[in-house]
Chains A and B, each alone.
Chain A
Amino acid sequence: MASDGSNPQGRVLSGVHFMLGNYATAEGALAGGCDFFAGYPITPANEISERMSHRLPEVGGTFIQGEDELFSIYAVTGASLAGAKAMTATASAGFNHFQEGIGYAVAVEAPCVIVDVQRCRGENFATQADVMQMRWGTDGDYEIIVLAPSSIQELFDYTARAFNLAEEYRTPVIVMSETTISLMRERLDVPSADEIAVVNRRYTDLSPGEYKPFAAPEYGVPDFAPLGKGYNTIYSINPHDEEGSIDWDPDVYERMYDRLTGKIAKHRDVICQPRSYAVDDADIVLIAYGSEVRPALDAVEMAREDGIAAGLLKLDAVWPVPEEQIAAAMSKAKAVIAVEMNIGKYANEIERISAGRVPVHRCTKNRGIIHSPEEIYRSIKEVWK
């Protein structure tokens, strides 16, 4: 639906589709209320821009092809602060250039959605190598939400949800796409518009005289003021107090960053909704995210058929880290295997949570190709020995 709650004809393409992943990302954005997109070309993300360039005007939205990535990220941030539900999309090498703008969007608490279709080998090859860049790429202390879809259906669902999370927590939300799923076509079931929950911008009830732009209720997220109604807000990356006044006082700085990081860290059990497959009685628990979930699920089935009690924890949000859920999933296991399409990065987080209680093995592949089920099953058998 649109951010005003209406559903202009054609915004939600309800029905069964056989759709390209990048198109499903664009359609998920529209279903989540996106009405502004700015982007700069790069494969394998181009079909997102291409789809948005004709779909957004159809539903009354705005599409801008930026002159580069910096333009795109700042255009999205500006549009967001003006009230739009805004998105941009790029691929790994372009995502590097977003980092400065992501830092600004975090500091001024601009809700927006950023899609990174990860690629490697300078081409359209599969990888999950940006998993750390998404979390730690910009300067300063911050928390961020990163969702990792594994299918065309999840590209749609998670992108729509990304808009809701962005509004709820006033933060950039990153959709961690991959070459594998972005350039794949698959069945997509789009529900009717009224079945899709949409969180809209929350505006203050206070008058301009009473309103403090960065004063937040207990859960840590301040209300916006409507633009052009007499409210004045300075959106500065510099340390600012509740009034929005720039202030380098260490107390102000500490208070601001406690709230910025706390509003996400404190809600990680709501933000993260990992799914367990056959984990309860599993001796070996695989942990995977994104497209790697798919061969991992096949490998778990192969192991079960051979009498090995394997299970899988599928992460939907990789950041913030679902600490409690990961700890619970490994609590009864004899071993954990971190499955990843990179040199082994998120495995460090899993090791940190394990803290030596359960051995954490790594099943990594960094060749621009997704794991086959057989390769992951080989890892399971090695650990089982």
Chain B
Amino acid sequence: MKPLKIRFCGFGGQGIILSAITLGTALVTKKGYYAVQTQSYGSEARGGQCQAELIVADEEIKSPSSDEKDILVAMSQSALDRYIGDLKKGGILIIDSALVTEIPDVDAEIIQVPATETAVALGNRIAANMVLLGFVQQATGIISKDDLLSAVEDLVKPQFMDLNTRAIEAGIELAADVSLEVTV
């Protein structure tokens, strides 16, 4: 089986790395897959460019780096512009519609998700990453909602669990009619 390669990108402070860690934790500790997660970010505490990569497979993963991604989740225009070249032909591009307005002309399935708007409506824009995770969960089916929520519970402070749960559920709702073909 070919490993599945996902990149989350945006700017520092959006929870880009946490998104990759959460999904990886769910896939490894709840589903028994193998996964490798790497990241790069600027030295700024907030605002610098940030990306996190997750490779998932049903066997041990050798090279920890990969050139072509199957899925790119972009939460800022500048990050999208920088990383779009690594999305494979016919891949899946998921963008936060409030933050990425110029959509490139690429051979990909492009899906716009109002993640930040939804998070703002829930009371905290910082939960936009969780809206996107909920969306990815529902649209791809690579993990169950329960396993995803359980991973969030393992990773985040209890006082943020309620907001994160609502954000994930909102993301799931946004993906109600979306079905993306992804296999691990």
Contacts and interface: CB of A to CB of B under 8 A. Distances in A.
Interface residues of A, number: 22
B64 A298 contact: no
Interface string A160-201: 000000000000000000001101111100000000000000
B38 interface: yes
B32 interface: yes
A370 B62 CA distance: 12
Interface string A234-267: 0000000000000000000000000000000000
A297 B63 CA distance: 8
Interface size class of B (residues with CB under 8 A): 20 to 34
Contact of B65 (A181, A187, A370): A370
Which label, helix, strand, loop or mixed, suits the secondary structure of the A interface? mixed
A270 interface: no
A185 B36 contact: yes
A180 to B, nearest CB: 6
A185 B67 contact: no
A18 interface: yes
Contact of B63 (A17, A181, A373): A373
B35 A184 contact: no
Nearest to B57: A187
Contacts, number: 61
A184 B37 contact: yes
A9 B60 CA distance: 30
A180 B39 contact: no
B30 to A, nearest CB: 9
Given A184-B36, A185-B36, A18 B29 contact: yes
Given A18-B21, A18-B24, A18-B25, A370 B34 contact: no
B163 interface: no
B28 interface: yes
A53 to B, nearest CB: 19
Interface in A266-320: 291, 294-295, 297-298, 301
A294 B64 contact: yes
B37 A185 contact: yes
Given A184-B38, A187-B34, A18 B28 contact: yes
A187 B21 CA distance: 11
A57 B35 CA distance: 31
B62 A187 contact: no
A295 B64 CA distance: 8
Counting from the closest, the 3 A-B pairs by CB-CB distance are A18-B28, A185-B37, A295-B63
Interface of B: 21, 24-25, 27-29, 32-39, 60-65, 67
Interface of A: 16-18, 151, 180-181, 183-187, 291, 294-295, 297-298, 301, 369-370, 372-374
